[in-house]
């Protein structure tokens, strides 16, 4: 009797199990209401919807060419997707969306093209993870689970960085990297373009930056290097913008400048002839705080701002040893003349001059955490990397901050089980990245408003090939996306791992 009841129960449950399938999306949406049944895509339904075309609302967005998801997903949906404009839901903001999948329609509601894009990113995952029913017709078709998704990000700034100076990566690879970011709703690519071991952006007024600064002689005598022409850069910026990703370029100062100073020693403190270094570590070379150096930076920023439409320009500021400034008559004279108490204040003076120039051009500067040491201007955005302390200090001061603490966000650090490649590295397992939350505990509401979001960095001293970049990136990028988009209220590591195992992460 019991067995009989059990069988009856099972028979009742089976159709339900078949009819409802969990919706696996990363980053986890804020709200998913699962229905029963499916939107089925096969040749018949596509034909049927084509015939009904005039009843379907079209949006210009669906016609946008060269759009990654269009090729893969929306072609299939062409005739069945409705995209509506403004929605009356204050939660959505500029990146949020509603995605409604019913038995006979798919509807995207969003306030902006960015919101529509985010809905398509979700739809792509839902589509790719949908079961395929190969018995229903000759053409196998996808069973898209009926559901109603409401989604919006916990943090507005969701960044991923790449150092192309220590090792150089091709234009094609940068595009692939951007594709990966887009798949996980990362909206900012921080492109680290200048450092000691290579200057990687063409600046027309200073050709030696790339003629000399983009190349180094390795210990085995081979030449290593490369750079992006302004044409390459424009192409990459357009590619990223089609995916709703902003690129923030980084032009380092006053340290991490050996490659630039090898090209133009007159902007340095020693005037010595330098070669582009082929070793890692912090170098002593530093720009001299002279009018000719500031003119150089103004010229460079003119070309950088002409190329990059981003509101933010990163101007470095980390790891700048002051030994050369201490022994430089020029640096000491500037300190005296400007009444600066120490070399940290001189760094602030230096960076603030460049920042002010950017401000005049309508841009905002970002600096690494060390910029809080010598005095903080009101408008500098602080990227806190050693830990969150510089960011906390800056947020309390009223500055916007981006958190990128190395204990959670340094993707050059080894994955669990990998070998440490340098003594300053710590293992960075997936669980740690997942646990990252940019918001420090105990901030006042006024200070908390200044925490824009978070970012992970990928430095490449020990990451030499494209395969190695992908190895360092994945699947930690996927965890980062959930830390920044989903946020701490809805995150759930166990559930994340389950979803991670069902999606194709590369």
Interface residues toward ligand ACM, by CB under 6 A? 318-319, 368, 385
Output 128 or 319, the one with its CB closest to ligand ACM: 319
- Known catalytic residue at 256: yes
> What would the two tokens of residue 108 be?
């995207």
Note the maximum CA span of the chain. Answer: 98
Q: What does the alpha-carbon distance between residue 333 and residue 354 come to, in Å, rounded to a whole number?
A: 19
**Residues forming beta bridges with residue 351, ordered by sequence position:** none
Candidate list 302, 319, 468, 495, residue with the active-site label: 319
**Shortest distance in whole angstroms from residue 440 CB to ligand ACM:** 19
CB 109 within 8 A of CB 81: no
Nearer to ligand ACM, 318 or 468 (CB): 318
Shortest Å distance, C-beta 408 to ligand ACM = 13
Q: Give yes or no for a contact between 453 and 499, defined as CB atoms under 8 angstroms apart.
A: no
- Placement of tokens 């995207």 in the chain: 108
Give me the catalytic one of 98, 117, 167, 256: 256
Distance CA 169, CA 174 (A): 7
Q: Which of 42, 195, 196, 252 is catalytic?
A: 195
Helix (H, G, I), strand (E, B) or coil at 109: strand
Closest CB to ligand ACM: residue number? 318
Give me the least distance between CB of 466 and ligand ACM, in Å please: 22
Smallest gap from Cβ 335 to ligand ACM, in A, equals 25
Instruction: Give the H or E element holding residue 394.
Output: helix 389-397
Q: Output the smallest distance, CB 368 to ligand ACM, in A.
A: 5
β-strand 401-403 against 141-151: which pairing, if any?
A: unpaired
Please name the helix (run of DSSP H) or strand (run of DSSP E) that holds residue 147, with its range, or none. Answer: strand 141-151
Rounded to a whole number, what is the distance in angstroms from the first to the last CA of the chain? 51
CA dihedral 117, 122, 124, 127 (to 10 degrees): -140
In degrees, rounded to 5, the angle at the alpha carbon of residue 425 between the alpha carbons of residues 452 and 154 is: 20
The span from the CA of 408 to the CA of 480, in Å, is 9
Residue 244 vs 411, nearer CB to ligand ACM: 411
Check if 319 is active-site: yes
CB of 382 to ligand ACM, least distance (A): 12
Q: Which two tokens stand for residue 496?
A: 């994340």
Q: Which of 448, 425, 428, 444 is nearest to 436 (CA)?
A: 428
Q: Is 466 in the active site?
A: no
Give the nearer residue to ligand ACM in terms of CB position, either 314 or 352. 314
Catalytic residues: 195, 256, 319
């Amino acid at each position: 009797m019991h067995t009989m009841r059990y069988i009856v129960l099972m028979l009742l449950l089976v159709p339900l199990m078949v009819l409802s399938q969990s919706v696996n999306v990363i980053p986890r949406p804020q709200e998913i209401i699962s229905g029963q049944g499916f939107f089925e895509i096969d040749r018949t339904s596509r034909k049927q919807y084509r015939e009904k075309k005039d009843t379907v609302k079209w949006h210009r967005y669906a016609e946008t060419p060269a759009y990654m998801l269009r090729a893969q997903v929306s072609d299939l949906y062409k005739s069945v997707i409705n995209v509506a404009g403004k929605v009356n839901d204050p939660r959505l903001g500029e990146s949020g969306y509603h995605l409604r999948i019913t038995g006979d329609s798919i509807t995207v509601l969003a306030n902006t093209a960015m919101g529509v894009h985010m809905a398509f990113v979700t739809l792509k995952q839902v589509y790719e993870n949908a079961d395929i029913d190969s018995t229903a017709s000759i053409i196998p078709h996808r069973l898209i689970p009926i559901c109603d998704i409401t989604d919006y990000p916990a943090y507005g700034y969701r960044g991923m960085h790449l150092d192309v100076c220590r090792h150089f990566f091709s234009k094609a690879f940068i595009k692939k990297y951007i594709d990966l970011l887009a798949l996980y709703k990362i909206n900012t690519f921080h492109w680290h373009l200048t450092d000691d071991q290579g200057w990687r952006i063409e600046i027309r007024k200073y050709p030696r930056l790339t003629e000399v600064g983009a190349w180094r002689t390795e210990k085995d005598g081979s030449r290593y290097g490369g750079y992006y022409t302004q044409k390459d850069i424009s192409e990459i910026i357009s590619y990223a913008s089609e995916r709703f990703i902003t690129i923030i370029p980084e032009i380092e100062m006053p340290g991490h400048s050996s490659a630039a100073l090898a090209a133009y020693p007159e902007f340095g403190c020693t005037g010595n002839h330098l070669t582009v270094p082929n070793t890692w570590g912090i170098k002593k070379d530093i720009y001299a705080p002279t009018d000719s150096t500031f003119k150089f930076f103004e010229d460079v920023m003119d070309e950088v701002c002409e190329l990059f439409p981003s509101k933010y320009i990163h101007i470095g500021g980390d790891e700048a040893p002051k030994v050369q400034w201490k022994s430089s008559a020029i640096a000491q004279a500037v300190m005296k003349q400007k009444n600066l108490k120490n070399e940290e204040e001189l760094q602030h003076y230096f960076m603030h001059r460049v920042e002010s120039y950017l401000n005049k051009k309508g841009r905002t500067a970002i600096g690494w955490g060390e910029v809080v040491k010598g005095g903080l201007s009101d408008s500098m955005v602080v990227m806190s990397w050693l830990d969150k302390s510089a960011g906390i200090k800056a947020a309390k001061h009223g500055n916007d901050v981006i958190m990128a603490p190395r204990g959670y966000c340094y993707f050059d650090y080894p994955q669990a089980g990998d070998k440490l490649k340098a003594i300053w590295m710590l293992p960075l397992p997936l669980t740690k990245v997942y646990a990252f939350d940019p918001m420090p505990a105990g901030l006042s509401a006024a200070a908390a408003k200044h925490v824009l979001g978070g970012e992970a960095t990928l430095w490449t001293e020990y990451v030499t090939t494209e395969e190695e970049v992908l190895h360092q990136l994945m699947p930690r990028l996927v965890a980062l996306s959930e830390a920044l988009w989903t946020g701490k209220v809805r995150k759930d590591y166990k559930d994340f791992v389950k979803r991670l195992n069902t999606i194709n992460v590369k």
